[in-house]
Each structure stands twice: as structure tokens, then as C-alpha cells.
Structure 1
Amino acid sequence: MQPIPPVNTKTNHAIGNRTAIATDVLSGEVNLGAYPHRYLVLVAYRHIGGMPSLLAAVEWLEAQSWELVNLYPDDNSHRAVVRRRPAPTPPVQR
């Protein structure tokens, strides 16, 4: 059995507020394996990466079984709502 990595402050923030900074997701500072919810809001501020970092985080999460629900561009920040894809259900044996 693999040990569970400790939950850091940025992961705790993501769990409690259901938001994460896109650059923190890309740098691995947020452990979404510990994230218990299905939906998450990613935030990218214009002065910290902006839309390119937001889209990079969305693309990275798509490879981790998340999917983009919606994008919300704004003057100061951009947001993306993503959801974790449910695990596929095995076929019924007859």
C-alpha cells in the first residue's frame, strides 16, 4: 500500500474553497489526488500567467481525468470550471 502524501496548505485551500491557482496546479503544489469534490474552479491572474497558464492547467488536468466545463475571462483574472470524470463502470456480466 502506498503512503498517502501529506496535505499541504495550498491543497487545504483548494479543498476548503473549491478553487486552485492554475500555476500552483502546474507546479504540483496542489495535490488534487486528495481533493474530495467533483468540481473545481481554476483561477489565473493576469499578472501571474493569465490565460496561457489557465489553459495549460486545464490541458494537464484533462490528462488526469478532469474535463473543462466552462471558461470565464475577466479583466483581472480568468477562471475555468473543471470536473473530475467518473470512473468507467465495468460491463455487466451475464
Structure 2
Amino acid sequence: MTRFGGKVAVLTGAASGIGRATAIRLAAEGATVIGLDIDETGLAGTGEAAGSMDAIVCDVADRAACHAAVEQVVADHGRLDVFGNIAGIARSQHVP
């Protein structure tokens, strides 16, 4: 499929879970995918599974790092067509 052919997509949380699945799917549908995550090893695994994905290690809680990542994408690819803010944090403790 090439539904996203020629599109540049940035996905946060691309190292695992829904972000990983979305990266793999968009790459399969022709997008140029750039994955952002704090987990460098996980990003590498997603890139392998997707067949092709650029990776930027980025803490999405750091506003300056996010701005720098987007600026890097635009500098490298000339534009940004899709942005998926998928990163999430799960805590396994009781919330009162």
C-alpha cells in the first residue's frame, strides 16, 4: 500500500506499544517515518520491524527537545505532514 506515499510522519512513543504499531503501519503504507522516544533500543527495534524509520531520541516532557526534533525533521525532509503524539506513561502504583 502507498496511502501515505510521499508523506513525512513524526510519531512520539515509537519505541513500543501503539506508537510502534503505528510506525510500522505508516511505513508499510509508504510514509517516511521519524520515531521519537527516550528508549533508543526500542526505537532501533521499531526501525528494524518497520523496514525503514529515522529515529530521534527525545524526551517529550522536554519542550526544547521537542522543538529541536521537529526542526531537525523539517531541515532533513523539508516538511512535516503527519504528527502523532502517542507517547504515554503508565504507572503501576495505587492512585488514592
State the structure with more CA Rg: 1
Q: With the length of structure 1 as denominator, give the TM-score of the two structures.
A: 0.29
Q: Counting strand residues as a fraction of each chain, which structure ranks higher?
A: 1
Q: Counting helix residues as a fraction of each chain, which structure ranks higher?
A: 2
- Name the structure, 1 or 2, with higher relative contact order (CA <8 Å, separation 6+): 2
